[in-house]
Amino acid sequence: MAKTIQQAIKERILVLDGNYKHFIDKYNLKKPDFHKGRFAKHNIELTGFYDVLNLSRPELIREINEKYLKAGADIISTHTFGANDYILSKYKLEGKAYELNFAAAKIARELTAKYSIITRSKPRFVFGSIGAIDDTIENQEQIKAYEQQLKGLMAGKVDAIWFADFSKKDNLFSAIEALYNILTKRNKVYSVVITLSGEEQMLSEKFVEELESKYNDRIKLLAISEVSGNKIILHSEIPAILFPALVSRGGTSELIKESATDIIKKYEPKILGGCCNNTPEQIETLVKAIKEANA
């Protein structure tokens, strides 16, 4: 049985959970949910800043994580896409990045440990989610903005850092540079997954070569892909990670199965699912589709 995500990715297609923001919207949360506990008297409006729920409503994040694990997801991602110091400063939450990211990673890690025991032949993993920030700020400021976020996720023992949906090369490289600096100081190596999106298409042999030439001694690139509209761009040698509109269009079980089967045959992905409209119910259908495709 695979003990690490590096081993598991060689053995089977791994299913990534869905987009938490989309799913959280169904709970119809109000201001007290975001301002609960220590944030009750916070003088900046937090309603709609979903990342803060890791501290104000951790039981809700735990509940959502567990629904995806029960549905059969192999990987759950931390709800920390915007939990960096730059974005947190807009809400006067400076100094909370480490705590918030550690809390999110801890919730996910505890649940994946639980389900890895329940289904011993199917170990579960955690991606620490990192999102893009305003690329108009200076490179060094971007690097600094990501530092505590990354440290919190790693302290919470995520299996890989997921640089999710970056559309600007400079911003992505700043985020990776922040991780690289931490790993160099600690003499560590860490797994990384990258997904690119937007109008500016970046993925190419040259792009991957630049990544690896700069950071390969500290960063293990598990998967990289780019999704722009309905077009998928894959690097030929790095395992693919693919996204949901391609497996859940329309949301019906029949369409998910049909799309998943086509994708598996065409791309032989290593990680499938994980964004936009993927509910736990759709993840369950996707897991079944993969089993049928590999039968």
pLDDT digits (tens, 9 = 90+) for 141-184: 999 999 999 999 999 999 999 999 898 889 999 999 999 999 99
Q: Is 98 a member of any domain?
A: yes
Give the CATH number of the domain where residue 119 resides: 3.20.20.330
Q: Is residue 245 situated within a structural domain?
A: no
Q: DSSP states of 96-123 as a string? A: -HHHHHHHHHHHHHHHHHHHHHHTTTS-
Residue located via tokens 């690289």? 180
The answer to whether position 286 is within a domain reads no
Q: Which two tokens stand for residue 44?
A: 């900046």
Q: Can you tell me which residue has the tokens 């949301």?
A: 251
Q: Is 291 part of a structural domain of the chain?
A: no
What pLDDT was estimated at residue 21? 75
CA distance 208 to 215: 11
Let me know if residue 195 belongs to a domain. Answer: yes
Helical spans, DSSP H, in the chain: 5-11, 20-24, 31-34, 53-56, 58-70, 85-90, 97-118, 139-155, 169-186, 205-215, 245-248, 253-267, 280-293
Quote the number of domains for the chain: 1
Q: Which domain holds residue 208?
A: 20-238
In a domain, 109, yes or no: yes
268 within a domain of the structure (yes/no) = no
pLDDT per residue, tens digit, the chain (295 aa), is 568 999 999 889 999 998 777 778 888 999 999 999 989 999 999 999 999 999 999 999 999 999 999 999 999 999 999 999 999 999 999 899 999 999 999 999 999 999 999 988 899 999 999 999 987 889 999 999 999 999 999 999 999 999 998 988 899 999 999 999 999 999 999 999 998 887 666 788 888 889 989 999 999 999 888 876 667 777 777 777 776 656 665 567 787 888 888 888 888 888 988 666 678 888 898 899 898 887 6
Domain for residue 15, yes or no?
no
SS3 at position 255: helix
